[in-house]
């Protein structure tokens, strides 16, 4: 992903950590579950 966006993997990791903290999740798996649940219920994140 980072290469296709021309950013470093550290930049991607930094932004993922910020998203995780804001949403109260600890992993990409938890994030994916949260997004899936929001899509099912029509909730906005």
pTM for this entry: 0.74
Q: Residue 11: CB partners within 8 Å, gap ≥ 6?
A: 2
The structure tokens listed for 36 are 């899936």
pLDDT exceeds cutoff 70 at 37: yes
Average pLDDT value for residue range 9-33: 94
Confidence of residue 1 (pLDDT cuts 50, 70, 90): low
User: Residue 25: how many CB atoms within 10 A of its CB?
Assistant: 17
> Is the predicted pLDDT of residue 19 greater than 80, yes or no?
yes
What is the chain's mean pLDDT, rounded?
Answer: 91
């Amino acid at each position: 992903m980072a290469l296709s966006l021309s950013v470093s993997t550290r930049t991607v990791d930094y932004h993922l950590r910020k998203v995780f903290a804001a949403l109260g999740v600890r992993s990409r798996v938890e994030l994916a579950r949260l997004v899936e649940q929001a899509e099912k219920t029509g909730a906005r994140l």
